[in-house]
Amino acid sequence: MPTRRTTVLRACILFFGITFAVAPLPAQMVGSRDLTSGWRLPSEHISVPENCEKPRSSVLDGQEGHPEGASPKDLELTIVQTWPAKLEIGNDFNATVRLKNIGTAAVLVPSAPDGEGLLRPSADGTEEKYEVGDVSFRLTTGKQHGIPVYLNSAGALFADPDNNSGYLSLKPGNWLEIKIHARVECGMENCMGEIQPDNNAQLTAWWYQRVLSHHVSGCDETHQSVKVREVDSAPFNIEVESPSTKTSTMARNY
């Protein structure tokens, strides 16, 4: 017959065994990508026949398509740090961002810097597609921190949606770190705001993930964009100074 001490010991072992069995795996970084050293955008490999007298082209944009069981809110984007720590108007900087799974199921995100190496036309040569995720930055300066300025930035990650190559699986709590190159200048043709020196400017990152496809049927071709998810980071407080000298050039494709 077991003693009281033995019974208590068995209960403790059972309790801690169950606790360890159901405890979640520790959160950790499972990948990092340095896009300041290079990346490559896929080029198109199919086109309408040369003998088409009147080729017709159309663009379908704005559609949404979420992976089965996935939520647009299952990822969290965070600006970790910038180099230099203080930004200068007109000069370049690098930033590290963290893309973390805060949901309850694994999430696939594009993770290959070389998109050209992944893209393969369909067997019949009528379609090609790839999934892409890129990070861009917005900066607000001035007393009101009003209209944000979309900065000039470079870098994207790619995957092949047909065979899952190029994806990184982020389990709950895990994250991917991405290093991006950008410049403190407007990256759009028409800028509504302006960048001013500010000791308490706010830098925001934006992850935009989508599937891009190109389809050719006879003399008709269609380009389509289907959004998978987009994630905004919380504002990152940073100092923006007046320009001194140009420090470097933007990171370019391979």
* Side chain identity, residue 69: G
Query: What's this model's pTM, rounded to 2 decimal places?
Result: 0.82
Specify whether the CB–CB gap between 235 and 78 falls below 8 A.
no
pLDDT of residue 163: 84
- Name the average pLDDT for the chain: 85
Residue 42: asked if its preceding bond is cis (omega within 30°), the reply is no
Model confidence pLDDT, tens digit, residues 67-84: 554 566 899 999 999 999
**CA–CA separation, 136 and 187 (whole Å):** 10
The average pLDDT across 21-25 equals 49
Please determine, for residue 198, whether its predicted confidence score (pLDDT) is greater than 70: yes
* Side chain identity, residue 197: P
Phi and psi at residue 116, to the nearest 5° = -65, -35
**CA–CA separation, 11 and 5 (whole Å):** 10
Model confidence pLDDT, tens digit, residues 113-145: 999 988 888 889 899 999 999 999 999 998 888
